[in-house]
Copies of this chain bind each other. A is one copy, B any other.
Amino acid sequence: RCFHFCKLPGRVMGIRLLRFTSVVIIVLLLVAGALTALLPTIKDDKLPNSRREPKPQSQSALDSFTLIMQTYNRTDLLLKLLNHYQAIPHLHKIIVVWNNIGEKTPEEMWNSLGPHPVPVVFKVQTVNRMRNRLQNFPDLETKAVLMMDDDTLVSAHDLAFAFSVWQQFPEHIVGFVPRKHISTPSGVYSYGSFELQNPGFGNGDQYSMVLIGAAFFHRGYLEDFQQQPEAVYALIDETQNCDDIAMNFLVAKHTGKPSGVFVKPVDIRNLEKDTNTGYSGMWHRAEHLLQRSYCVNKLVNIYDGMPLKYSNIMISQFGFPNYANHKNKM
């Protein structure tokens, strides 16, 4: 029998064991707490449905693009289009250039109908200018810009493909609407589309511009646009037109190559007639095309030469919608 000695270790060990165990438990709890803090937080907008897909990785600047959409007097179309475009793969953010001067943006409504796949920024303008969309917006975080008119619907498939094409031709305007200029014996240029005579380089047609109202291009060109001669801004403001022609001049001058790469759209639609504002786009004005020919000649003056170059490359997506698009008799 061991009295004092035996009891003492027991009691000491007992106390120490107790303390030790307590400390261990407390440490474990702290560690558990720390781990919990590192877990992804449950968002405020938790859905009752627990089969919600995990939040996608934040898109890197190289693998995603920013949609810039200027809008005037067609908010109904704008909202319809935003519902479509907000879900395009690889989209990083949407910048809406609000040309409805003095009118409230639909930001409140937009927020109340969240959540949204991407953030939308409404840039309120002070003057209704066509070239407002060509500002070098500080909100831009991606290399690529997708510029769309507020009445144009391009399918997600087309956009995903065209974005991948842009990534292979990042110094070009990669888009869905090709146009051309032709020169005439008098030296005066004319602007148009397929209805104009082919420029005569072999057979088939050529294009020398890709319109920016449905196209991808590098954000660097927005920076460049800020450095153009005043006369260019004056021309665009005077006509409320031709900003896209000016951009093609800029890009062609910069690269020394054709400014654009045309991607043939599978599904592109103009929703103009669906607007209930009754407002139809600028291109319906009687003088629209004449203005654009006028712009081509003015820009040649301003830039002291014709930098636009022709291309006849038309790009489509191999095997989409199905292999019939490349089937042949062999």
Binding site for B on A (CB under 8 A): 152, 157, 160-161, 164-165, 168, 177-178, 194, 198, 202-207, 262, 264-265, 268-270, 311-321, 323, 325-330
Q: How far is the CB of A162 from chain B (nearest CB, A)?
A: 11
Q: Within the assembled complex, what's the spacing in Å between the Cα atoms of A198 and B321?
A: 12
Known: A177-B330, A262-B326. 16 other contacts (CB 8 A): A152-B330, A160-B202, A168-B313, A178-B326, A194-B326, A194-B327, A198-B319, A203-B320, A206-B318, A264-B326, A268-B330, A269-B330, A312-B318, A312-B320, A313-B318, A314-B317
Task: Check A319–B330 contact: CB distance below 8 A.
Answer: no
Q: How far is the CB of A132 from chain B (nearest CB, A)?
A: 23
Task: Check A314–B325 contact: CB distance below 8 A.
Answer: yes
Q: Within the assembled complex, what's the spacing in Å between the Cα atoms of A320 and B205?
A: 7
Q: Within the assembled complex, what's the spacing in Å between the Cα atoms of A312 and B270?
A: 27
Q: Within the assembled complex, what's the spacing in Å between the Cα atoms of A330 and B194?
A: 13
A-B contact pairs, 21 of them (CB 8 A): A152-B330, A157-B204, A161-B202, A161-B204, A161-B312, A194-B319, A204-B318, A206-B319, A262-B318, A269-B329, A269-B330, A270-B330, A311-B318, A312-B319, A313-B315, A314-B315, A314-B316, A314-B317, A314-B325, A315-B315, A315-B316
Contact of A314 among B152, B203, B318 (CB under 8 A): B318
Q: Within the assembled complex, what's the spacing in Å between the Cα atoms of A330 and B155?
A: 13
Give the top 6 A-B pairs by smallest Cβ distance, nearest first. A205-B319, A204-B320, A194-B323, A312-B318, A314-B318, A204-B319
Task: Check A178–B318 contact: CB distance below 8 A.
Answer: yes
Task: Check B329–A268 contact: CB distance below 8 A.
Answer: yes
Q: How far is the CB of A6 from chain B (nearest CB, A)?
A: 67
Q: Within the assembled complex, what's the spacing in Å between the Cα atoms of A194 and B152?
A: 32
Chain B residue with Cβ nearest A201: B164
Residue among A157, A164, A203, A313 with the most chain B CB within 10 A?
Answer: A313
Q: Within the assembled complex, what's the spacing in Å between the Cα atoms of A264 and B319?
A: 11
What residues of chain B lie closer than 8 Å to A326, measured between beta carbons?
Answer: 178, 194, 262, 264, 314
What residues of chain B lie closer than 8 Å to A319, measured between beta carbons?
Answer: 194, 198, 204-206, 312
Q: Within the assembled complex, what's the spacing in Å between the Cα atoms of A180 and B276?
A: 49
What residues of chain B lie closer than 8 Å to A160, measured between beta carbons?
Answer: 202-203
